[in-house]
Amino acid sequence: MALGMIAPVMAHPEHEFMAGLSAPSPATVLLITGPELVDSWKPFVAWKKRLGKPVRILSTTQISERYEAKDLQEKIRRCIRNHTDHLGTRWIILGGDSEENGGGIVPSRETLHRTQSGELTKVPTDIYYLSKKDWDSDNDGVYGEWEQDRESIDYPDGDVGLGRIPVRRSEDVKAYTEKVIAYESRYPESEFATSMAYASAKTSLPTGLQTRWDDKISEVLTGGSVRYFFPTSEKNKGFGPEEWITLFNGLAYGKLHLTGPGRHDAWLFKNETKVTQAEISQLNNKEA
């Protein structure tokens, strides 16, 4: 359905599905972005359609007008659940950056977590958007409190994928789209294409990462290989920002996976070292 033909405001998310005239055309991907970036995303949508993955774009303004809830994040969650539960959507793209205190193109839900130093702080959390519940059992506006909100903290089962593309301007969307098209149309057919690096800032790699290659990824990357990078002891720095930059720029691995905590402005490594914009600017895999 064209964006100009969207149905009027619905009081509950399931009504959008149940009212026959308001149901959108089938789409396997839902892309949520700010109204100022809708047009910028259309070349990306056209490319994905050529590959057989129809994409539906909804702006945060449209979602805000259609769904009733106490804030935009909850409206987005209800919208996503409507699409995954009733409309066959299997991939969710948050097409915009988030900022602290609910700001940004597509805001994240800030949930209460402990930092590596043990301090309680609000951490941006996108996985909230796949939850069947609102993560606020006691209705105090503080989300993800493990004791007070445990009954409403729900984690996804893996049937739906969600990711964020943290763009802020039309130029960012254009650059990202060009990279996606290059990646999906001219990807190197070599050992690089099927080699994966798993990296972690933790002293021991979580069990799930140790078994995921054997259980899942090796079935897709037939003939591929994996190598692990993580600290070997508390005293051994092992893997930090410098090693991560070297790993990326070495052009030996076509796929990289990094496990560890993050903030709005950085990924956190061992001993509170960080990957920030300064480190990102040093990455160079142009020929890969």
Report the 3 state secondary structure along 126-190: CHHHHCCCCCCCCCCCCECCCCCCHHHCCCCCCCCEEEECCCCCHHHHHHHHHHHHHHHHCCCCC
User: What is the b/e burial string over 197-235, where b = at least 16 CB atoms within 10 angstroms of the residue's CB?
Assistant: bbbbbbeebeeebeeebeeebbeebeebebeebbbeeee
pTM score, whole prediction = 0.74
Looking at the structure of the chain, the number of domains it has is 2
Residues 151 and 196 both lie in one domain = no
Residue 11 within any structural domain of the chain: yes
Residues 136 and 195 both lie in one domain = no
Residues 31 and 127 both lie in one domain = yes
In this predicted structure, the answer to whether residue 4 has a pLDDT above a threshold of 60 is no
Interstrand relation of 161-164 and 91-94 (parallel, antiparallel or unpaired): parallel
Rounded mean pLDDT, 270-274: 77
pLDDT at position 113 is 79
Residue 177 within any structural domain of the chain: no
pLDDT at position 237 is 58
Residues 7 and 118 both lie in one domain = yes
pLDDT at position 156 is 81
In this predicted structure, the answer to whether residue 22 has a pLDDT above a threshold of 50 is no
Rounded-to-integer distance, Cα 33 and Cα 41, Å: 9
Other CB atoms closer than 10 Å to residue 118's CB: what's the count? 6
Determine which of 103-107, 157-161, 168-172 has the lowest per-residue pLDDT on average.
157-161
Determine which of 5-9, 130-134, 145-149, 207-211 has the lowest per-residue pLDDT on average.
5-9
Task: Kindly report, residue by residue over 101-138, the tens digit of the pLDDT.
Answer: 899 999 999 998 776 677 788 888 999 999 999 999 99
Residues 152 and 96 both lie in one domain = yes
Residues 140 and 198 both lie in one domain = no
In this predicted structure, the answer to whether residue 11 has a pLDDT above a threshold of 70 is no
Summary mean pLDDT of the chain:
82
In this predicted structure, the answer to whether residue 266 has a pLDDT above a threshold of 90 is no
pLDDT band of 3, cuts 50, 70, 90? very low
pLDDT at position 166 is 94
Residue-range definition of the domain harbouring residue 264? 188-280
Residues 10 and 125 both lie in one domain = yes
Boundary-marking domain end, from 162, 179, 198: 162
